Amino acid sequence: MEFPTDLKYTKNDEWVQVEGNIATVGITDYAQDQLSDIIFMEVTAEIGEELDKDATVAEVESVKAAAFIYMPVSGVIVETNAELHDTPEMINADPYGAAWMFKFEIANPVELDDLLDATAYEKYCQEREH
């Protein structure tokens, strides 16, 4: 299981990559492993939409479960990964790379402080393994 150290994480199992005032979001290796084969992905938010932290942005469905992807912090959606809709299996294959889901402009950088770092997130995942 990979937990890249250059990323930040949420307790909803999203990863966040911050570059300047733009954040890129996807779901973690742990999340794709838990969901198993992902067969559907749809970004439900629209570009230009202003969303609060924890607002629903996308939806994935695997052969086992459906899950929502939430805003890690508040911001404005600037780009979504349209290719993922047709190739949802990329989420399993390359969760931290090709399977990025959306980018947004960070509204309030202070909120980033609440996100987990790789070590804390890995510990959080281990706690859930029983």
Phi, psi of 88 (to 5 degrees): -60, -20
Q: Residue 48: count other Cβ atoms within 10 Å of its Cβ.
A: 8
Shortest reach from residue 44's CB to other proteins, in Å = 6
Distance set, CA 106 to CA 17, 28, 95 (Å): 11, 20, 22
Total number of residues that touch other proteins (CB under 8 A): 11
Q: Does residue 47 touch other proteins according to CB under 8 A?
A: no
Torsion of Cα atoms, 74 then 34 then 130 then 53, to 10°? 10
Convert residues 63-82 into a mask of x (bound to other proteins by CB under 8 A) and - (unbound). Answer: xxxx-x--------------
Q: How many CB atoms lie within 10 A of CB 87?
A: 14
Interaction of residue 40 with other proteins, rule CB under 8 A? yes
Q: Which is nearer to other proteins, 68 or 97 (CB)?
A: 68
Q: Looking at 33, 42, 114, 117, which residue binds other proteins (CB under 8 A)?
A: 42
Task: Decide if residue 1 touches other proteins (CB under 8 A).
Answer: no
- Residue numbers of the site for other proteins (CB under 8 A)? 40, 42, 44, 59, 61-66, 68
